[in-house]
Amino acid sequence: MSPRQHPSDETLLRHASRNLGAGLRLVVDVHLESCPRCREQIRLFEAAGGALLEDLPPAPVSSSSLEKIFARIDTESAAPRRLRAAPPARILDDRYALPAALANCDVGPWRFVHPKLRWARVRLPDAPRERVILLKIAPGHATPAHGHRGLELTQVLYGAFSSAHGAYGPGDVEEADDEVKDHEPRVTADGECLCLAAVEAPLRIHSLLGRLFQPLMGI
């Protein structure tokens, strides 16, 4: 089933123009794996960006930089192209196959805020300080209520949750920003929910318990 909840066009445009931080970009990459609609949207934005570049007046290029470009083309065409096989999907908890976009990320051990809410740090190989976590929440439970200082993207991998914005199932992404003050996504009663979340800047967590864990979680 195709996702019903998508990142905003602004976020997809930032992704297409390489203007999204690595953590948020990872969440969008995971969303794109299961969303033909957003893949098409990104393709259109990229095509529009290419057309814009073609309309720019040509800038003078120095002969030394041209030499570097030709040297690079030579080495790249001389080197045999290695085909990289897609790494097998990683399985978490013996039951959750992780998206391919997470294949090169380091996923830390589960830690808990309380027994019904666990989290694991996700470290990107090239951007280990990005604020990205996996969240595993028991049926009927919620994240600590919080606000934002920038963009937050939460992608549902398994299960479902709902918030003031709507209902989110597997493949759906919820986007929240500074305007959202009292964000408290709650998992549906019928099963555990596994999500991938990234934030641009530290959250404003309202509860004491949440604030105590915030430095550890890195969000």
Applying CB under 5 A, the residues found at the interface with Zn ion are 3, 6, 35, 37-38
> Which of 37, 114 has the CB closer to Zn ion?
37
> Which of 38, 160 has the CB closer to Zn ion?
38
What is the phi/psi pair of residue 65, to 5°? -70, -30
Burial 37-69 (b: 16+ CB within 10 A, else e): ebeebbeebeeeeeeeeeeeeeeeeeeeeeeee
Q: How far is the CB of 109 from Zn ion (least distance, A)?
A: 31
Place of tokens 């986007």: 175
> Which of 105, 153 has the CB closer to Zn ion?
153
Q: How far is the CB of 72 from Zn ion (least distance, A)?
A: 35
Helix (H) / strand (E) containing 209: helix 208-217
Helix (H) / strand (E) containing 65: helix 63-78
Q: How far is the CB of 35 from Zn ion (least distance, A)?
A: 3
Q: How far is the CB of 151 from Zn ion (least distance, A)?
A: 16
Q: How far is the CB of 177 from Zn ion (least distance, A)?
A: 18
The rounded Cα 210 to chain-centroid distance in angstroms is 22
> Which of 3, 21 has the CB closer to Zn ion?
3
CA distance 101 to 22: 12
Q: How far is the CB of 163 from Zn ion (least distance, A)?
A: 18
> Which of 3, 159 has the CB closer to Zn ion?
3
Give the residue from 123, 112, 127, 110 showing the smallest Cα distance to 20: 127
DSSP 97-164: EPPGGGTTSEE---EEEETTEEEEEEEBTTBTTSEEEEEEE-TT-BPPPEE-SS-EEEEEEES-EEET
> Which of 4, 72 has the CB closer to Zn ion?
4
